[in-house]
Amino acid sequence: MDPVITHEQILARLAAPWIEIVPSRRKRSKRSLPANAHEPSPNVLVVAHPADKTSLDLCSQFRQKHWKPRFNIAHVPCDFAWQIVTPSGERLLIFTWVNWLRNSRQMFQEFCRATNHEFGTLTQDGMIVMASRNIPFRHCRLTREDQLRPRPPVTIKKQLAKSILAKADGLLKSRKSKFEDVDYRELYDDEEAHDDELQGKLEASFLANMVSYEKVVSVKFGLPTEVGTDEHKSIPINGVVRYAIWTVGKKRLYLAVSHEDTELPWVTYLGVTV
């Protein structure tokens, strides 16, 4: 994304289909594209409090509540790096929707109501339409989110061995299949999501940590019975790029690095299948 953006460039996105906003989607086969791939992708504006909150914060809250692997009805708003500051000093977050299913925008609006975040829309004639007032968009100031909070690091800090083993022991005590994340890294914005060099560095960092975690788990449970670089029927997670499975009694303990889609986070999961 350019270091400077204009009001007109943001307004132009209102009429653009998301297949144009996110060019990497063009690499997918036509039959895998959703029916709304060529429909306009309208923005939703959200008033956030406190004023230093970013769209990444709100997206993270929404993902924690609604998005889980293999739960395809809750794809999320695309993190957009720009915020609006109104003439009165109110801060609005911009969300550009790049989602597979239409209903996820409605889910996000319901989430905002439940968490007391006022939201509205940006119209093509340049008006921010909130529930109680209208705000001329061109009278507002634009600011980048990374001016409010630094970008998260590319190299993911490894978890301590005792932490990994404690999580594994806790999972193995469960009577139900479950998993939790060990490493987690959101993509900050569109710019990060479509930066191939950054994605490569994140993959390398997650895989390096994964190798370390495998060694830790193997000390206690022996060598893994299966390893691989694709999805596995015993691991209920999409986008797996590496996994290791240990048989512990009648249960299967696993580690898996997942990156389900370009805009979605990198995650290392530790889980158990009963």
Tell me the pLDDT tens digit for each residue of 234-267: 999 989 999 999 999 999 999 999 998 887 889 9
Q: Hey, how many other C-beta atoms are within 10 angstroms of the C-beta on 274? A: 12
User: Token pair of 179, please?
Assistant: 């998993």
Strands 134-136, 251-258: parallel, antiparallel or unpaired by DSSP?
unpaired
Q: Would you place residue 179 in the very low, low, confident or very high pLDDT band (cuts 50, 70, 90)? A: very high
> How much is the pLDDT for 50?
58
Residues 100 and 75: beta-carbon distance below 8 Å: yes
Dihedral-angle region of residue 25 (phi above 0 means left; psi in -120 to 50 means alpha; beta otherwise) = alpha
What's the pLDDT at 261?
82
- Percent composition of the chain: helix, strand, coil (DSSP 3-state, to 5): 35, 25, 40
Residue corresponding to tokens 């299967």: 252
pLDDT at position 90, please? 85
**In terms of residues, how long is the chain?**
274
H helix or E strand, kind and range, residue 166: helix 161-172
The structure tokens listed for 191 are 């710019």
Of 78 and 104, the structure prediction assigns the larger pLDDT to 104
Task: Tell me the whole-structure pTM to 2 decimals.
Answer: 0.61
Token pair listed for 201:
């560095």
DSSP state of 132: S
**Average pLDDT score over residue span 81-99:** 76
**Domain boundaries, given as residue ranges, for the chain:** 7-147, 161-273
Q: Which pLDDT belongs to residue 260?
A: 86
Instruction: Give the closest residue to 261 by CA, choosing from 199, 201, 205.
Output: 199
d(CA 86, CA 142): 9
Contacts of 146 (CB under 8 A, 6+ apart): 81, 188
Residue that wins the pLDDT comparison between 62 and 180: 180
With CA atoms as reference, report the closest residue to 211 among 265, 272, 267, 158.
158
Confidence grade of residue 107 (pLDDT, cut at 50, 70, 90): confident
Q: What is the mean pLDDT of residues 110-138?
A: 87
Q: Is the pLDDT of residue 23 over 50?
A: no
Write down the pLDDT at residue 148. Answer: 59
Q: Which two tokens stand for residue 223?
A: 């060598």
More confident residue, 166 or 123: 166
The answer to whether residues 186 and 145 touch, using CB atoms and an 8 Å cutoff, is no
Give CA–CA dist 16/168, Å, rounded: 46
State the chain's mean pLDDT as an integer.
Answer: 79
Which of 135-144, 205-214, 245-254 shows the lowest per-residue confidence on average (mean pLDDT)?
135-144
Averaged over 134-160, what is the pLDDT? 82
The mean pLDDT of 71-98, rounded to a whole number, is: 67
Which pLDDT belongs to residue 163? 95
Strand partners, 242: 257
Identify the architecture of domain 161-273 in CATH. 2-Layer Sandwich (3.30)
